[in-house]
Amino acid sequence: MIYSRTFLNALFIAIACHSGAQPTTLLTVNVDKPVAEVQPTMWGIFFEDINFAADGGLYAELVKNRSFEFDVPLMAWNEEGTDRFGMNNESGFTTILNRGATSDTNPRFARVTSNSEGSYSLTNTGFYGMGIKKGLSYALSMYIRPHDGNVYVRAELVDDQQRVIGSATIRTDDREWKRYQASITATETIKKASLKLTFIGKGSIDIDIVSLFPPDTWKNKPGGLRADLVQLLYDMKPGFLRFPGGCIVEGRDLSQRYQWKNTVGDVNDRPLLINRWNTEFRHRPTPDYFQTFGLGFYEYFELAEDLGAAPLPILSCGIACQFNTAEVVPMDQIDPYVQDALDLIEFANGDVTTKWGRLRKDMGHPAPFNLTMLGVGNEQWGPQYIERYIVFERAIKSKYPHIKIISGTGPFPDGELFDYATSELSALHAEIIDEHYYRPPLWFFENATRYDHYDRKGPKIFAGEYAAQSVAIASPENKNTWRCALSEAAFMTGLERNADVVHLASYAPLFGHAGRWQWTPDLIWFDNLSSYGTANYYVQKLFSTNAGTHVISVLNGTEKVAGQNNLYASGVWDDNRREVILKIVNANETPHTLMVKVSSKNRLDSQATATVLAGDLNAVNSFQMPTAIKPAESTVEVRRKSIQVQLPPSSLIVIKIKTM
Ligand code: AHR
Q: Encode 532-556: b = buried (16+ Cβ within 10 Å), e = exposed.
A: bbbbbbbbbbbbbebbbbbbbbbeb
Q: Model confidence at 21, in pLDDT bands (50, 70, 90)?
A: low
Task: Give the per-residue pLDDT at 12.
Answer: 36
What is the 3 state secondary structure string of 450-496?
CCCCCCCCCCEEEEEEEEECCCCCCCCCCCCCHHHHHHHHHHHHHHH
What pLDDT is recorded for position 466? 98
Confidence of residue 256 (pLDDT cuts 50, 70, 90): very high
CB 482 within 8 A of CB 620: yes
Handedness of CA 52, 56, 60, 61 (dihedral sign): positive
Give residue 591 CA to ligand 1 midpoint distance, Å: 36
pLDDT tens track for 33-54: 999 999 999 999 999 999 999 9
7-11, 16-20, 448-452, 476-480: the lowest-pLDDT one = 7-11
The reply to whether ligand 1 has any atom less than 6 angstroms from the CB of 631 is no
Burial class from Cβ neighbours inside 10 Å (0-12, 13-18, 19+) for residue 474 reads middle
CA angle 522, 523, 528 (to 5 degrees): 80
pLDDT at residue 412 in the model: 98
How does DSSP assign 422-454, residue by residue?
HHHHHHTT-SEEEEEEEE-HHHHHHGGGTTTT-
Whether the predicted pLDDT of 251 surpasses 60? yes
Say yes or no to pLDDT of 602 above 70: yes
State pTM to two decimals: 0.96
Residue nearest to atom 8 of ligand 1 (CA): 246
Going by C-beta distance under 8 Å and a sequence separation of 6 or more, which residues neighbour residue 277? Answer: 49, 50, 51, 247, 248, 286, 289, 518, 519
Whether residue 463 has its Cβ less than 6 Å from ligand 1 = no
Residue 10, pLDDT above cutoff 70: no
CA of 624 to the centre of ligand 1 (A): 28
Ligand 1, atom 2, lies closest to the CA of 509
Q: Is residue 552 lining ligand 1, measured as CB closer than 6 Å?
A: no
Q: How far is the CA of 524 from the centre of ligand 1 (A)?
A: 16
Which residue's C-alpha comes closest to atom 5 of ligand 1? Answer: 246
Query: What are φ and ψ of residue 125, in 5° steps?
Result: -95, 5
Distances (CA, A) of 269 to 103, 117, 590: 9, 34, 59
Give the DSSP per-residue string, 402-420.
TSEEEEE--S-SSSHHHHH
**Average pLDDT of span 346-372:** 98
Work out the angle between the directed axes of helices 383-399 and 416-427 (0-180°, nearest 10). 30
Ligand 1 close to Cβ of residue 563 (< 6 A): no
Per-residue pLDDT, averaged over 363-383, amounts to 98
Residue whose CA lies nearest to ligand 1 atom number 6? 246
Number of Cβ within 10 Å of residue 169's Cβ equals 12
Q: What is the pLDDT of residues 260-296, one digit of tens each?
A: 999 999 999 999 999 999 999 989 999 999 999 999 9
Residue 83 pLDDT grade (very low, low, confident, very high; cuts 50, 70, 90): confident
What is the overall mean pLDDT for the chain?
95
Atom of ligand 1 nearest to the CA of 467: 1
Q: Which residues contact 198 (CB under 8 A, 6 or more apart)?
A: 118, 120, 121, 153, 154, 155, 156
Q: Which domains does the chain have, with CATH numbers?
A: 5-38+549-658 (2.60.40.1180), 45-60+217-241+294-544 (3.20.20.80), 77-213 (2.60.120.260)
pLDDT recorded at residue 18: 40
pLDDT tens column, 483-501:
999 999 999 999 999 999 9
AA letter at 419: D
**Strand extents, DSSP E, 497-563:** 502-507, 511-513, 524-526, 531-533, 550-556, 559-560
pLDDT digits (tens, 9 = 90+) for 443-494: 999 999 999 999 999 999 999 999 999 999 999 999 999 999 999 999 999 9
Q: Is the pLDDT of residue 16 over 80?
A: no
Q: Is the pLDDT at 183 greater than 90, yes or no?
A: yes
Cβ contact 278:268 at 8 Å? no
Task: Count CA within 13 A, CB hemisphere, residue 291.
Answer: 29
* Residue 20 clears pLDDT 70, i.e. is over it: no
300 neighbors 241 (Cβ within 8 angstroms): yes
* pLDDT surpassing 90 at residue 138: yes
Range 195-204 average pLDDT: 97
Question: Probe ligand 1: pick from 257, 465, 506, 523, max atoms within 8 Å of CB?
Answer: 465
**Inter-residue contact 190 to 108 (CB < 8 Å):** no
C-alpha–C-alpha distance, residues 533 and 537, integer Å: 5
What's the mean pLDDT in 324-343?
98
Neighbours of 253 (CB within 10 A): 14
How do residues 621-642 score in pLDDT, each as one tens digit?
999 999 999 999 999 999 999 9
pLDDT digit string, tens, across residues 144-168:
999 999 999 999 999 999 999 999 9
Average pLDDT for 78-101: 85
CB burial readout 5-26, b (16+ within 10 A) else e: eebbeebbbbbbeebeeeeebe
- pLDDT bracket for residue 611 (50, 70, 90): very high
Q: How many residues does the chain have?
A: 660
9 or 433, which is more confident: 433
Question: Stretch 84-96: mean pLDDT, rounded?
Answer: 82
Q: What confidence score (pLDDT) does residue 15 get?
A: 35
Catalytic residues: 379
Looking at ligand 1, which atom is closest to the CA of residue 245?
Answer: 6
247 lines ligand 1 (CB under 6 A): yes
Q: Which of 610, 548, 543 is nearest to 578 (CA)?
A: 548
- pLDDT over threshold 80, residue 536: yes
Confidence band of 22 (pLDDT split at 50, 70, 90): confident
Tens of pLDDT, residue by residue over 223-242, are 999 999 999 999 999 999 99
